[in-house]
Amino acid sequence: MKPIFPLACLLLPAALAAADSADYTESFDTLYNSLTVQKTGSVVELRARSRRGEALESAVDLSDPLRLVVGYTQTLYAGLLFQPKPARVLMIGLGGAGFHRLFTAAYPTALLQTVELDPTVLELCESRLAFKPTAQTPVTLMDGRVFVKRDQGKWDWLILDAFRGGYVPPHLKTEEFYRECAARLTDRGVFISNLHMGTELFYSDIKTIEAVFPQVVLFQTTGRGNVIACAVKYRAPDITDPGKWPEVATLMEPAFAGHLDLAKVRGERMVEPWADVLHARVLTDDFSPVEFLDTVKTNDTKER
């Protein structure tokens, strides 16, 4: 017991300093989440409390709104390698709208439709994270799957980034749902999903996506446990050969300058963990023990 007091004495000033450095920290218990909003300088972070602690959902730099503060939001732009002209984008999960600002600056005429289940998340985006939905960036408050089922549109990008307290609801992880998503993609559309490494769920995620989409390419966000899966519903042309991907320079938009390093994103491509995926089970509406698989740690336990 003795070492605890000196250790506490050492850590306390650091903890107090961290708390002091924040301009404000607010907590919100919503219908679906326990959220923390913290502003430090010009950066506002949106975190969801979960059994793993607080998961950083999104962050925005109010002094430079185009800056992609959270690493995986850069990796989401890997979709450009497979569908370079995203005119219609559907995003399931609003978070702090960290992805939205740069996208609309780069593609001002594109439609970025977002579906969010939690009304408080939208309220916080508007009141704390300076995001205002527009005709180009409408937000619909609805379950993502119900929206996809009822939606009649076709999308160039369909981004799945829905989390509830650090995990994805099981019905947004199944083969049947991915088939519904595939049906809503344009012929050359790309399905983009934010996955988490570190548990058995990751391998089932990949196997389930591959059960629906003939071609899947994975990108691992540098320094984090996020993996962005890009999947398409066609077999040809081949998208898995990086040699056939468009040159990064041809994909650059003026707004990307200083905000998005597409060469780095391209370099984040990861080799699929074939051996582990081989033994994973495909998740279906009939069998989707997502919560259970998400508790089974793999040997690769990188920070999430």
Partner 1 sequence: MSFLAFYTVVVTLGVLSMGFQLLASRLLSPHFGSSIIVWAWLISTFLAAFSSGSMLGGWISNLAAERRHRAQVTGAALAVISLAVTAGFGRPILDWIEVAFLDVGTALLVSCALLFFVPVTALSSFGPQCVQYLAARDTPPGKASGIVYGVSTLGNIAGVMLTAFALIPHFRVSALLYGWLAVAVLSLAALLHLLRAPASP
Closer CB to partner 1, 67 or 173, in the complex? 173
Which of 287, 297, 300, 302 binds partner 1 (CB under 8 A)? It is: 287
Residue 243 structure tokens: 């040699």
Query: With binding defined as CB under 8 A, does residue 184 bind partner 1?
Result: no
The identity of residue 159, as a single letter, is I
Among 157, 177, 202, 245, binds partner 1 (CB under 8 A): 177
Chosen residue from 46, 59, 117, 230 binding partner 1 by CB under 8 A: 117
Query: 138-157: which residues touch partner 1 (CB under 8 A)?
Result: 143-146, 149-150
- Counting contacts by CB under 8 A, is residue 286 touching partner 1? yes
The contact mask relative to partner 1 for 87-106 (x = CB under 8 A, - = no) is --------------------
Beginning with the edge strand found earlier in the chain, give each strand of the sheet holding 226-232 in spatial order.
139-141, 111-116, 88-92, 155-160, 185-196, 226-232, 215-220, 269-270
Residue 40 or residue 284: which is nearer to partner 1 going by CB?
Answer: 284
Taking CA 169 as the corner, what is the angle to CA 177 and CA 104, rounded to the nearest 5 degrees?
A: 75
In the complex, what is the shortest distance from the CB of residue 173 to partner 1, in angstroms, rounded to a whole number? 11
Site map 5..44 versus partner 1, x via CB under 8 A: --------------------------xx------------
Size of interface with partner 1, in residues (CB under 8 A): 23
Q: Is 285 in the site for partner 1 (CB under 8 A)?
A: yes
Work out whether 51 is an interface residue with partner 1 (CB under 8 A).
no
> Least distance to partner 1 from the beta carbon of 177, Å?
7
Q: How many CA atoms lie within 13 A of 125 on its CB side?
A: 24
- Residues 136-147: b if buried by 16+ CB within 10 A, e if exposed: ebebbeebbbeb
Q: Are strands 215-220 and 226-232 parallel, antiparallel or unpaired?
A: antiparallel
Choices 71-79, 127-135, 167-175, 209-217 (CB under 8 A): range interacting with partner 1? 167-175
Select the residue interacting with partner 1 from 27, 64, 292, 297 (CB under 8 A): 292
Smallest gap from residue 28 Cβ to partner 1 (A)? 15
Based on the shown chain and the rule CB under 8 A, indicate whether residue 169 belongs to the binding site for partner 1: yes
Kindly state whether residue 165 participates in binding partner 1, applying the rule CB under 8 A: no
Q: Which residues inside 214-243 make contact with partner 1, applying CB under 8 A? A: none
Contacting residues toward partner 1, per CB under 8 A: 31-32, 117, 143-146, 149-150, 169-171, 174, 176-177, 284-289, 292-293
